[in-house]
Structure 1
């Protein structure tokens, strides 16, 4: 399971479609509707919900994954794909509800570049910068502690 912190516009076709499927699975896991993947490290940030608003309570995991899914669906709409938004089951958290570190974004961009260089080398031109998914606000820092991929 890979829930990219990168902006959906950076994802090639395969990553966008796989990201949608995997985020729908994450939604089921976070709602307790499946026993698989319950301890997957990619879900830590959605469960812990580090809010970017000082002193504000963190949004519920369902609202966070809903905002994540809507970000993917917005990009799918832009590309003319048909992602079924009715599968998103909660009201989304606002943009910028979670933080992501500069180190995490850099790792993910490099990870995506390696994948794209094999399956869609023409997409590499899109990967010149690491912009975050609208759900995230970037903060300085190393790779996130939940990350299992290596640089």
Structure 2
């Protein structure tokens, strides 16, 4: 799983599709809809926010907008509805709202469960149309997530390595932006000084 801090416009077609699929998987993890990848380091900065699911929705919207600009069709309804980034326009066909199902409303534990065994966590479910119609409009905004300059530089080097193999024509822009310290970032993030993020698993073959 790779959730790029860099702007998705740097990605080639294969990379953009992979970013979309991996971010959708991350959305499922943060929504409690799957047990895999829960401790993946790429999720650390999302989990550290006050609203991880809202942050991931904003991340997915950034990828979706880039895909739409290229004429690709990514299913916007897969993105969980949430508060927007400051100045961000709502998608024309936003996906479902998600509501947390109280444990008391979840299915009873199987009769074979051991006494005192922890019950499975309640999972969110998609809100029905009446529930969405009655929902109060969300006027909050998603706060930007800080990303260190060293992390951006490392990701640019990593992506350059990948693009040289898959899409050499896209390398020159990324290399120029890295060289001139003008890397563009995903709109969810804001750049701060510092080195590579502590959660990054640095490759030694670049």
Instruction: Give the alignment's TM-score, normalised by structure 1.
Output: 0.89
Q: Report the Cα offset of residue 94 of structure 1.
A: 1.3
For the Cα contact (< 8 Å) 1:65–1:92, is it kept in 2?
Answer: no
Query: Counterparts of 1:23-102 in structure 2 under 5 Å?
Result: 23-49=23-49, 58=50, 60-94=51-85, 97-102=144-149
What is the aligned length?
142
**Counterpart in the other structure of 2:155:** 108
Q: Secondary structure at the match of 2:85?
A: coil
Q: Report the Cα offset of residue 92 of structure 1.
A: 4.1
Q: Report the Cα offset of residue 14 of structure 1.
A: 1.2
**Counterpart in the other structure of 1:131:** 184
Give the ranges of 4+ consecutive aligned residues of structure 1 lying more than 4 Å apart after TM superposition. Answer: none
Unaligned runs of 5+ in 2: 87-142, 178-182
Q: Report the Cα offset of residue 12 of structure 1.
A: 1.2
Of 97-106 and 117-126, more deviation after overlay is shown by 117-126
Instruction: Map Cα deviations across residues 90-136 of structure 1 (whole Å, 9 max, x no partner).
Output: 31441561110100000000000000001111111231222110000
Q: Secondary structure at the match of 2:25?
A: helix
Q: Structure 1's 123 and 142: CA in aligned 2 closer, same or farther, altered over 3 A? A: same
Structure number with greater Rg is 2
**Counterpart in the other structure of 2:108:** none
Structure with higher helix content: 1
Query: Counterparts of 1:134-149 in structure 2 under 5 Å?
Result: 134-149=187-202
